[in-house]
Structure 1
Amino acid sequence: MYPVSRLAAVHEATAKGGLDALLLTPGPDLRYVSGYDAKPLERLTCLVVPASGEPFMMVPRLEVPAAQASPAARLGLEFVAWDETDDPYAVVAARLGRVAKVGLADRMWAMASLRFREVLPGAEQVLAGSVLRELRMRKSPAEVAALREAGRAIDSVHRQVPEFLRAGRTEREVGRDIAEAILASGHATVDFVIVASGPNAASPHHDVSDRVIEAGEPVVVDIGGQLHNGYCSDSTRTYSVGEPPADFAAYYEVLRRAQDTACAAVRPGVPCESIDAAARDLIAGAGYGDAFVHRTGHGIGIETHEEPYIVAGNGEAMEPGFAFSVEPGIYLQGRHGARIEDIVVCTENGGERLNTTPRDLVIV
């Protein structure tokens, strides 16, 4: 999943992007380029990718065994071990020499970015994402396969959710069962579990609470995690514990049609914002425009949220390999809400949904 060719592509993109070097500390950017899921510590770990010259990895001496056990060891990198009395930032600066512009990992801690500013005082600092985004957005066939595997795994959990949902249980109790099922499905980690019942379903990023689920209530279940291959899952389905209110059933049908319409609009060349409009226009036309309060989707890969974003104002054209969520929602404050979410990959001919569980309202 982390071929040498990826590092070579990043090396080339650094030069083409007008940067003298990329400085990647622990986080998604480092993991994407090297495969090393390094611990974020006060001690500096940093992959240095100069525009000219060979990449190298600064590693605290006590972390060298972990780095050598990671996929980064297969990339032919030089590991530069530093001791507790060394200044690793000064070592990086000395090896780079005079630089005018460097890209910092998007999630770099402020303490590291400020230290790099001290040791490279003449260098403009920009986000590494300015060059990495073009690579990370376009998923390779192997990455799409990894996301497809993640989709199957989280689908298997949604198929179990009706066993966990019943009146009299709390959101937290249901969430605990779901979290265990996520791990049992093959995920390495549980990234989030949203179990939002009744009025809590009108809060898109509700978590879980001690609220008792009552009969006749809609429940939004949004779940995801990361597989051992490093790629993420994310899928939302809406359930009802018994027959839901009549007004909820009416707007749920609007939502289902909107999500279908947006997924059907995916194809190469269409602007990202047009996918958002496909869902939003239908929801607004039914009178629920003010109740759809977030973008239609976000990219997904080694992070749950990454580019491209499916939102008004993003005119970037869809390309094969773009992977993202399509998740419109309708939220009536103080009453209830609903969301339907699938991960979709843009293909040469249209879009492929990576989640296949039914999208009709599930009554349990």
Structure 2
Amino acid sequence: MTSSDLYPVSRVAAVQEAAAKAGLDALLLTPGPDLRYVSGYEAKPSERLTCLVVPAAGEAYLVVPRLELPSAQASPAARLGLEFVAWDETDDPYAMAAARLGKAAKVGLADRMWAMASLRFRAALPGAEQVLAGSVLRELRMRKSPAEVAALREAGEAIDSVHRRVPEFLRAGRTEREVAADLAEAIRAAGHKTVDFVIVASGPSGASPHHDVSDRVIEAGDPVVVDIGGTFPSGYCSDSTRTYCVGEPSAEFAAYYEVLRQAQDAACAAVRPGVSCESIDAAARDLIAEAGYGDYFVHRTGHGIGMETHEEPYIVSGNGEPMEPGFAFSVEPGIYLPGRHGARIEDILVCTETGGERLNNTSRELVIV
């Protein structure tokens, strides 16, 4: 896919329409996923203000430090017909952005805007109520276009290729940290621009869902949870978890791993347009609870994914939002026995017109290395 597919010219107009419908006078988007989603510009956050101002009516414009103007002009944002408003070191860019915007009663701030910038905008627009831009952008960002799905599929295939290499790195006598270093290198070699996380959780470390890595030496018989992901040059993310075992697993672990595999399959099979996010969570959670492990499944079943590893929709009890084609999200139930071991299986799925398409396709059977 090309940048024009991922960041179409029509997106600014769609955002303006959504802002007007929500009763906002403008969106103020500073560096982060919201800005990149709308414009394609991967601006670097700093104390110097970069801000895409998208008024509900009128022309959008990008306020940018003059020293960063060449980078902005070289980005996909240049295709959008935006005015680039460059500011010099002695200017007040917040006042510049506010003056061009005029009187505003309600503005949406990028969800990842620094507090420093939020407070400066509050001073520059004293009469404007501030809300999160995500309240407007969520409806657009949740529904992935075919180009966005293709970008996620590319990232998913790349992270699958890394999981296929895990048996090269994982063996008794190595530390979690040593294995993680090899995995990070493999993630980059597979085409990712950045390595966002590497979890290698062996033995009792596996009972902590977000363990990260440590200097623990992996032992024979250890189950090992490997959760890895990164961001592709497209701006779209990968995220996949598989559980391995160094040598033959114990009967207890093998038994609850099979429960987990069936629960993950059940949740994936439940995906189709119109079903609620919480019903997909329940499809996995009910099977795990029936097997007696309900107290050991301690997190939601999944999260949306796109330009952020974690974004809406969230696959969790209490979220009655119905699935729609284009929703992209993880399905990742886990079972964690404190002080002993744990397991998780995670795939990224996209809701299609007829069901759910898995974007990760390595084996979900327990891999013995």
Q: Normalization by structure 1: what TM-score? A: 0.99
Map of 1:318-333 to 2, 5 A cutoff?
318-333=323-338
Q: 2:271: which partner in 1?
A: 266
Q: 1:280 aligns with which of 285, 291, 306?
A: 285
Q: 1:148: which partner in 2?
A: 153
Q: 1:196: which partner in 2?
A: 201
Q: 1:248: which partner in 2?
A: 253
Q: 1:290: which partner in 2?
A: 295
Q: What is the CA distance between 1:13 and its match in structure 2?
A: 0.9
C-alpha RMSD over aligned residues: 0.5
Q: 1:32: which partner in 2?
A: 37
List gaps (5 residues or longer) in structure 2.
1-5
In structure 2, distance between residues paired with 1:149 and 1:85? 44
In structure 1, distance between residues paired with 2:293 and 2:66? 58
Give 3-state SS (helix, strand or coil) of 1:22's partner: strand
Cα deviation digits, residues 83-142 of structure 1 (max 9, x gap) = 111111111111111110000000000000001111111111000001100000000011
Give 3-state SS (helix, strand or coil) of 2:193's partner: strand
In structure 2, distance between residues paired with 1:216 and 1:111? 50
Q: 1:48: which partner in 2?
A: 53
In structure 2, distance between residues paired with 1:285 and 1:341? 21
2:30 pairs with 1:22 = no
Matched residues, percent identical?
A: 86
In structure 1, distance between residues paired with 2:8 and 2:226? 36
Q: What is the CA distance between 1:245 and its match in structure 2?
A: 1.5
- Farther off after superposition, 87-96 or 135-144: 87-96
Cα deviation digits, residues 286-309 of structure 1 (max 9, x gap) = 000000000000000010000000
2:7 pairs with 1:2 = yes
Letter of the 1:106 counterpart: D
Cα deviation digits, residues 272-321 of structure 1 (max 9, x gap) = 00000000000001000000000000000010000000000000000000
In structure 2, distance between residues paired with 1:54 and 1:17? 18
Give 3-state SS (helix, strand or coil) of 1:187's partner: coil
Q: What is the CA distance between 1:14 and its match in structure 2?
A: 1.1
Letter of the 2:67 counterpart: L
Q: What is the CA distance between 1:11 and its match in structure 2?
A: 1.4
Q: How many residues align?
A: 364
Q: Normalization by structure 2: what TM-score? A: 0.98
In structure 2, distance between residues paired with 1:100 and 1:7? 21
Q: 1:173: which partner in 2?
A: 178
Q: What is the CA distance between 1:52 and its match in structure 2?
A: 1.1
Q: 1:185: which partner in 2?
A: 190
List gaps (5 residues or longer) in structure 1.
none
Letter of the 1:304 counterpart: T
Structure 1 moving runs of 4+ over 3 Å:
none
Give 3-state SS (helix, strand or coil) of 1:360's partner: coil
Q: What is the CA distance between 1:260 and its match in structure 2?
A: 0.2
Q: 1:351 aligns with which of 356, 363, 367?
A: 356
Q: What is the CA distance between 1:246 and its match in structure 2?
A: 1.3
In structure 1, distance between residues paired with 2:151 and 2:93? 35
Q: 2:140 aligns with which of 123, 135, 139?
A: 135
In structure 2, distance between residues paired with 1:187 and 1:52? 38
Q: What is the CA distance between 1:199 and its match in structure 2?
A: 0.1
In structure 1, distance between residues paired with 2:209 and 2:12? 37
In structure 1, distance between residues paired with 2:101 and 2:171? 61
In structure 2, distance between residues paired with 1:104 and 1:10? 13
In structure 2, distance between residues paired with 1:166 and 1:296? 29
